Structure 1
Amino acid sequence: MVTLYAEFTVLPGHEQEVADLMAGLTRDVRAEPGNVTFEAHVERDRPNRYFVYEVYRDEQAFADHINAGYGAVFNERLNQLIEEDGSQLTFLSRPGAS
């Protein structure tokens, strides 16, 4: 399994546009054969702050996700609407897992 989360902060005034982009991306990613989980959340007290939890079946499924054409289109647009230079990715593993 490949497990990670992505975080980013939406620039003021672009919250609805990013919500719409995320809805489309969520639909597309969940349709990927190797996707196990794709859940987008916003912080309760900072609704412009996103946390996206993702799980893929294996490294190949994650590579397929990264190479999906709609992902590149999403990221290009998102990068214009967030504070950071792209989504900040953190890869996870289970304690004791090799």
Structure 2
Amino acid sequence: MLVVHASFPVDPDHRDDALELIPDLVAGSRAENGVIEYRATTDVTDPNVIRFFERYEDEDAFAAHGRSDHFETFEESIGDLLADEPEVVRFDVDSATER
């Protein structure tokens, strides 16, 4: 399984525009084969940071997500709305236990 945590710092002047991109990305991503979980939220302490929490069955599912139309549309649109570079952290997980 792959787990991805991505943080997108958006320009406060373009926050609303950035947030409008999220529902289509999340809906399309959740419908993909191999996506276990796909969530987006704003940061509690900084509402200008959008955070994504993603879980994929495997590398193929993650790669397919990166080629999806909804992800490419998001990637093309979000660039001009950012205040800084996104941070993406990937975790390769051998096993997981719910607590």
Say if 2:89 is the partner of 1:90. yes
Task: Tell me how far apart the structure 2 counterparts of residues 37 and 2 of structure 1 sit (CA, whole Å).
Answer: 11
Structure number having the greater helix percentage = 2
**For this pair of structures, how many residues does the alignment match?**
95
The unaligned stretches of length 5 or more in structure 1 are: none
TM-score, scaled relative to structure 2: 0.86
Output the amino acid matched with 2:51: F
Task: Tell me how far apart the structure 2 counterparts of residues 88 and 52 of structure 1 sit (CA, whole Å).
Answer: 10
What does 1:35-50 align with in structure 2 at a 5 Å threshold?
35-50=35-50
Task: Tell me how far apart the structure 2 counterparts of residues 93 and 32 of structure 1 sit (CA, whole Å).
Answer: 19
Mapped contact 2:35–2:57 kept (Cα < 8 A): yes
Match of residue 22 from structure 1: 22
Mapped contact 2:24–2:70 kept (Cα < 8 A): no
Task: Tell me the secondary structure at the aligned position of residue 13 of structure 1.
Answer: helix
**Identical counterparts, % of pairs:** 28
1:45 CA drift (Å): 2.3
Task: Tell me how far apart the structure 2 counterparts of residues 47 and 34 of structure 1 sit (CA, whole Å).
Answer: 30
The unaligned stretches of length 5 or more in structure 2 are: none
Match of residue 59 from structure 1: 59
